[in-house]
Chains A and B, each alone.
Chain A
Amino acid sequence: MDLVSTMVKISGVVGVLLLVVAYMVLAERRISAWAQDRMGPNRVGPWGLIQPIADGLKFLLKEDFTPNYVKQPFFWIAPAITIVPALMVFAVLPFGSFLGSQKMVIADLNIGVLYTFGIVSLGVYGIVLAGYAANSKYPFLGGIRSSAQIISYEIAMGMSVVPIFMLIGEPGLLKSLGGEGGAWAKFLAGTEGLNFSRVVAYQAESLFNWLIFKQPLAFLIFLVAAFAETNRLPFDLPEAETELVAGYHTEYSSMKFALFFLAEYANMIAASGLLVTLFLGGWSLPFLGLDDPATSVLGGVLHILIFMAKVFAVMFLFIWVRWTLPRFRYDQLMQLGWKRFVPLALANIVITAFVLWTVAGGQA
């Protein structure tokens, strides 16, 4: 029974995810057009809503060309390695409270955050491998840049979330949420420190508890690092068109290229999901009784919709920023990551620790 419900959840999440990815591409094109006083694709179906299907068909029907100088096995496996981690991040994100008796998270891991960072780091392998396998200079440079960029920003990103779990780790979290026997007790059953469910539980109480307000600096660092990790403008150096043609996927065509393309958007959704869960209250809203885990099916569906709405809002921000800011220079990117964000994140940890210590009365 457990296996069946997990399978259902996986297929549901992956299905929705791929659909959202497809429509993200459309959203990106429409929003970029609006930002430039254009209309964007609006011919295929009403408001261009069938456009993703047309795009997908195009990708499928194009010639899948493999240059004869590439390193074949790696060339073939790289797109898969890129997209799988992007989809796997969602396994630990609680995208809703309860639907019936099912907790709306695929794998309720107690090492949630560690898992996420581990998986996100895996994504870089696909890109590096693609750059290496293509055996040509632009993909090679793109792959190298990407690995340097992702590794650098992972440090800042990882350290930026440490204060969050210092806050979450406070004892008595469950007590302030209604104690044993309540809906929260059921939701948090068996969870420990690093579980994402606890992050949501912490933020559900009030709007002020949203960690974007409690940890604005952490939010800023995480947001910028998320841009860098997903290779989005202003940090899209791995595929900087003006200098690297298309970066690591220059030699790819057809569906293999589409996989990189989709992975980029899947990564974006994953990053948005993480942002929402960590800083924006996850599936909860601090009013209308939506702050507690749902007891009815309607409430459960509402929570899932709230989560999706928040994710869409963050993704709009991603797109909005992309069409506003110019690309950073490579040294600026590295400087920002190592010389600004890493010290800031460290300072944030120390300050948070100090404040928590003071609040606790200065005891060890």
Chain B
Amino acid sequence: MKVQRKTLSLAEKLYLPAIFKGLKITLRHMFKKKATMQYPEEHWVVPEGYRGAPYLVRDQHGRTKCVSCQLCEFVCPPKAIKITPPGPQVNPNVGNVEKEPKEFEIDMLRCIFCGYCQEVCPEEAIFLMQDYSLTGESRKEMVYDKEKLLALGGVHNDPIEKWKRKEMEAREQGVG
């Protein structure tokens, strides 16, 4: 096949106008606003709905919302979550109405930030938040325990407060 080539005009053959055009473009870019972000000082503002690190939350009364149902542990594709349920003994503060986990660990090195845990949680106790750069000096440090997850997660306002009602009902019936 014969390739059709456009015959070049004199200006195009000289190549110089093209060079000047190119130089103009690079010069313009030199004075443009830079795309770089000065990372450790400046941080990226994550968009809403961003899936960052999963943390546990408390409700407005300071109660841990997780009830160790272990659904998130079950659904977690990379098996990053490990929950130790409290067992049969009863928490004297809240009675038998809930089962706050004894230990809740997320291995942030395994986590793939898929959000299944948040999706599956019946108690709205775990959320993928906005943190995207997790650092640690050892693998052990990257396994976040319950205290750390709760501290990082903060408070999530619960409009329903179903466990408060359950607690009241339990008190009325004299259980716990």
Which residues of A are at the interface with B, using a C-beta cutoff of 8 A?
A: 31, 33-39, 320-321, 323-325
Contacts and interface: CB of A to CB of B under 8 A. Distances in A.
A39 B38 CA distance: 9
B30 interface: yes
Nearest to A43: B38
A34 B31 CA distance: 7
B32 A324 contact: no
B11 to A, nearest CB: 15
Nearest to B31: A34
A324 B36 contact: no
A321 B29 contact: no
B29 A37 contact: yes
A320 B36 CA distance: 20
Contact of A320 (B23, B31, B35, B38): B23
B36 A323 contact: no
Contacts of A323: 26
A39 B22 CA distance: 21
29 contacts: A31-B30, A33-B36, A34-B29, A34-B31, A34-B34, A35-B26, A35-B29, A35-B30, A36-B29, A37-B29, A37-B32, A37-B33, A37-B34, A38-B34, A38-B35, A38-B36, A39-B34, A39-B36, A39-B38, A320-B23, A320-B26, A321-B19, A321-B23, A323-B26, A324-B19, A324-B22, A324-B23, A324-B25, A325-B22
Contacts of A324: 19, 22-23, 25-26
Contacts of A321: 19, 23
Nearest to A336: B15
Interface in B23-70: 23, 25-27, 29-36, 38
Contacts of A38: 34-36
Interface of B: 19, 22-23, 25-27, 29-36, 38
Given A35-B29, A36-B29, A37-B32, A325 B38 contact: no
A34 B25 CA distance: 12
A35 B23 CA distance: 10
A324 B19 CA distance: 8
Nearest to B35: A37
Contacts of B29: 34-37
B19 A325 contact: yes
A339 to B, nearest CB: 13
A193 B64 CA distance: 93
Contacts of B31: 34
B40 to A, nearest CB: 10
B125 to A, nearest CB: 42
Contacts of B27: 320
Nearest to B19: A325
Nearest to A36: B29
A35 B26 CA distance: 5
Nearest to B20: A324
A276 B154 CA distance: 66
Nearest to B27: A320
B165 to A, nearest CB: 56
Nearest to A322: B26
Contacts of A325: 19, 22
Q: Which 7 A-B pairs have the closest CB atoms?
A: A34-B30, A324-B22, A39-B36, A324-B26, A35-B26, A37-B35, A38-B36
A60 B26 CA distance: 34
A35 B34 CA distance: 10
Given A34-B29, A38-B34, A39-B34, 13 more contacts: A33-B36, A34-B30, A34-B34, A35-B26, A36-B29, A37-B29, A37-B34, A37-B36, A38-B36, A321-B19, A324-B19, A324-B25, A324-B26
A323 B31 CA distance: 15
Interface centre among A35, A321, A323, A324 (most CB of B within 10 A): A324
Among B25, B30, B33, B38, which residue has the most Cβ atoms of chain A within 10 A? B30
A54 B32 CA distance: 28
